Amino acid sequence: MCKLIVAVVILAMLAWSQEPAVAPAKPALSVPRFDKGTVDGKTYKNASVGLELTPVPMLELGTPGLRGKPGTVPSSVTISALGHLERTRVEGTTFLATALAYYLDDQRSTDACMRRLIQANQKNGFKLVQGSGEGELGGVLFARTDFSKEGPVYEAVFVKACDMQALAFVFSWVPARMQ
């Protein structure tokens, strides 16, 4: 089940962070210089996106990933944490930051980023559980959308577009199966 969650989340995140279909010849914004960040014990630290992430103790942080050449677009950084929170329930948390410099002005908002993530998840077989809403993480307001997929797999996706980057947190879980 851990592999299923990883595969589903990675497919959605990669689809969302791809280059836009129509991009300006020159970026309108400066491009953030992402680095992979580091895992220090149970905490992921990445100064390039201004993040420290400590998942619940039962989840194990994986290896941070970096797509693209630092300072160029497309550029993104990801990290996932997976594990069993109960004997039969698998959970995961994935973080993604992606540069917005090559997206057109009207594609850099939180709503536009969430639309791309919804489209990517729907292409991967997810269905909306409820409409768009909001949720707070660490005192910051994010757009939130919940999804489900046969298996079953559930996701709560939180997205926030900032000046030069979009941040996304995906919380995934496979519920305990009834026997």
In the chain, what are the domain boundaries? 2-174
Note the pLDDT tens digit of each residue in 120-146: 999 999 999 976 688 898 889 999 999
CATH node for 2-174 = 3.40.1000
Is the model's pTM score more than 0.85?
no
With beta carbons less than 8 A apart as the criterion, state whether 116 and 16 touch.
yes
| Euclidean distance between CA atoms 61 and 159, whole angstroms | 20
Structure tokens at 174: 């496979």
Distance CA 53, CA 155 (A): 18
Could you tell me the two tokens for 119? 């489209």
Compute the distance between CA of residue 105 and CA of residue 22 in angstroms, rounded to an integer. 12
Higher-confidence position of 2 and 51: 51
According to the model, what pLDDT value does residue 21 have? 44
Question: How far, CA to CA in Å, does 129 sit from each of 34, 94, 170?
Answer: 33, 19, 15
